[in-house]
Amino acid sequence: MQGIRVKGSLVWTIYRFDDGPMRAYKNLGEDLKLKTPVSANDKLVSMSNAILRNYIANKELKTIMTDRQILRDTIRKEIGKITKDWGVWIETVEITNVEICSDTLFKNMQTKYRETIQKEADIIRNTIKNRIEEVTMEVETEMNELDKSASQEIKAYKDDIDLKLNIEINAINILKNKIANEKYKIEQDLDVSKKMEMEKHKDSINNSDLDLKLAEIQISIEKENAKIKTKDVEYEQDKLEQEHEQKVTSIETEYKLASERLQIELMQP
């Protein structure tokens, strides 16, 4: 593949077993007598380059750039099949560097990498967006349920307060009726008492102005007492009405505080 440079090293030696030395001499010739067998090295380098080109042409660029172990093992295996018949043994193959020397190839790789990253980012973004929408729907559903539950609780609490107020109002009305009956009874008793006193002292009144005056004084005193008693009854009635108003105010305040406290609890996470 054009634009890729691979650097490495290959260590070889004469195959020592069987007729390995004879085959090496037959294939590599007098070059083996030199300290540095240039011709033999060139043959092995050319063979390695051919194997390397074939490997690179049939592999993905990512594999070539990242997996040197496969590249090294492939060269050693393929070249070993040939050199064994030459009487040559491949000790080791090392890949020291794989680099891109073509700007066009590098840009293409960067473009593909960016496209891959962009796709992954889009997938992650869509996943997060979908999750946010799901969580938002769950939260809205839960808030609706909480609002519905809170409304039911507030309505139940209000109904309970209304029931208590109605009971208190009925009790006060009963007490008012009782007081009115007592007042009417007192007035009736006063009229009866007045009539009885008048009948009792009728003869005395006819005979004596003094007795009449005494009777009138007595009646006046009884009237005053009746007025005092009536005022006491009215005072008690006013007192009960004030107590009722205080109770109603207290219950309404308690209802408002409970509603505010419930709203605060609903707003807390």
What is the pLDDT averaged over residues 135-156?
Answer: 80
pLDDT digits (tens, 9 = 90+) for 225-269: 777 777 776 777 777 777 777 777 777 777 777 777 776 766 665
Partners of 13 in the β-ladder: 89
| % residues pLDDT > 90 (the chain) | 0
Question: In the CATH scheme, what architecture does the domain 4-101 have?
Answer: 2-Layer Sandwich (3.30)
Asked whether the beta carbons of 75 and 51 are under 8 A apart, the reply is: yes
Computed over every residue of the chain, the mean pLDDT equals 77
Highest mean pLDDT among 169-178, 185-194, 259-268: 169-178
| % residues pLDDT > 70 (the chain) | 81
In this predicted structure, the answer to whether residue 141 has a pLDDT above a threshold of 80 is yes
What is the pLDDT averaged over residues 204-212?
Answer: 60
pLDDT digits (tens, 9 = 90+) for 70-111: 888 888 888 888 888 888 888 888 888 877 766 565 455 546
Confidence of residue 150 (pLDDT cuts 50, 70, 90): confident
pLDDT given at position 260: 72
> Looking at the whole model, is its pTM more than 0.75?
no
In this predicted structure, the answer to whether residue 223 has a pLDDT above a threshold of 50 is yes
pLDDT given at position 29: 79
Q: Give the tokens for residue 1.
A: 């593949």
In this predicted structure, the answer to whether residue 1 has a pLDDT above a threshold of 50 is no
Spans of all domains in the chain? 4-101, 152-267
pLDDT given at position 57: 72
User: Other C-beta atoms within 10 Å of 121: how many?
Assistant: 11
